[in-house]
A and B are shown apart, each in its own frame.
Chain A
């Protein structure tokens, strides 16, 4: 049955390759925001950061999470499209495992987001991003970003299968795209008003950002890594439960 999932994954990857503009659109907005933060606000923000902080490094994790949050709206859109066009019905009336079609979407979401993340890393490199991270630290960064992608992918499956329109299937990602703004991704939380600071310090993005930032700078990630993992896995399990329910009832 695994081979059938890969046949279906191959199909969806053809979609991605043939509409390469979606990958570019997904990458271009975060890249624009990165240019803005580094070259417009960066100078001012640096004043409240310790001396010698590379601001490109500092803001990069937040940009990556933003890119993933906008990338999964396409996952939801592709699922909506397959449901709407009866493609799921076709596959599910064939002698293949019922979950194959769903897993193919999840796998495609993971791979396409990793491509976007790579593009953003390359642009950041041009802007002066430098990392002294070792192989193990890089693997951890990739692992956490993949876990975050998977968690949000399962979230995306829910609107993808239950939405009544293509717009409805993808708007859910807008608040997720903005979430990094209200975290420690672009400016230290110490300068924020008490209520915002409390929110910023206790929402999932901050722990993930802090972890990725520490790993890329080859610094100990401390407690943040466990909080980040707990958030990702927790979101994934809850979303998976509702996504599977939607798949069972709607497809």
Chain B
């Protein structure tokens, strides 16, 4: 077991005549939260789909836990879990049934117990026997992430975990992701929100124009910019601050 959980070298992928990935390089260390930051269409999902064996690359190499995604997809699938861009929960099943389904598919000996533990851990015990279609956006995402944890995979991919959530739901998900990282799971997270990367990630890579144009800790990235100038401006509450204050939640952790 090496210290590197994910290794991507010169990864290339085109769709028809459009080159999406033009030689992407990055590495993710074991136990770290790594954010792949980029605007819409930058190729974040394509990268995640190649790493989770759903897509084949055109060139370069990608490996997860030292298994090559192209040549050893079965080994890779045993080491990972994908939480896709749209919460892939079954709305007709209850939250508990969704978890039991995944536990059975992963061949866990005690699916019901696994489900109950995760429901408890993600604060979903009360809603356990309600159909997932009735859950709020934040609850659905939490269930979605809980489903990814069944069988404790070594690496988890979270593809834009907070897109489409309200501020409250986003905070719920952030809290969840932080607790995951404390448990030692390696997380590759994609996001288009700078704030999200700043909040969650140990290291951040910026994917732009099909390449990684910057990669480092937040402190390292900050050094790329000219030194801060001191300016005095009036601090107005943002609409988000107001919204969260009114509904009685404190933002920002």
Q: Which residues of A contact B (CB under 8 A)?
A: 4, 7-8, 11, 14-15, 18-19, 84-87, 89-96
Contact = CB atoms under 8 A, between A and B. Distances in A.
9 nearest A-B residue pairs (beta carbon): A86-B88, A93-B82, A86-B84, A90-B88, A93-B52, A95-B77, A95-B78, A7-B104, A86-B86
B176 interface: no
Interface of B: 49, 52-54, 74, 77-78, 80-82, 84-93, 97, 101-102, 104-106, 147
Tell me if A's interface is mostly helix, strand, loop or mixed: helix
B84 A7 contact: no
A94 B77 contact: yes
Contact of A14 (B54, B78, B82, B93): B93
Contacts of A15: 92
Contacts of B78: 95
B85 A86 contact: yes
Contacts of A11: 90, 93, 101
Nearest to B79: A95
Given A4-B105, A87-B90, A93-B53, 6 more contacts: A7-B104, A11-B101, A85-B87, A90-B84, A90-B88, A90-B147
B229 to A, nearest CB: 45
Nearest to B98: A11
A102 to B, nearest CB: 15
B92 A18 contact: yes
Nearest to B131: A18
A12 to B, nearest CB: 9
Given A14-B92, A85-B88, A90-B88, A95 B74 contact: yes
A202 B203 CA distance: 67
B101 A7 contact: yes
A89 B54 CA distance: 7
Contacts of A19: 92
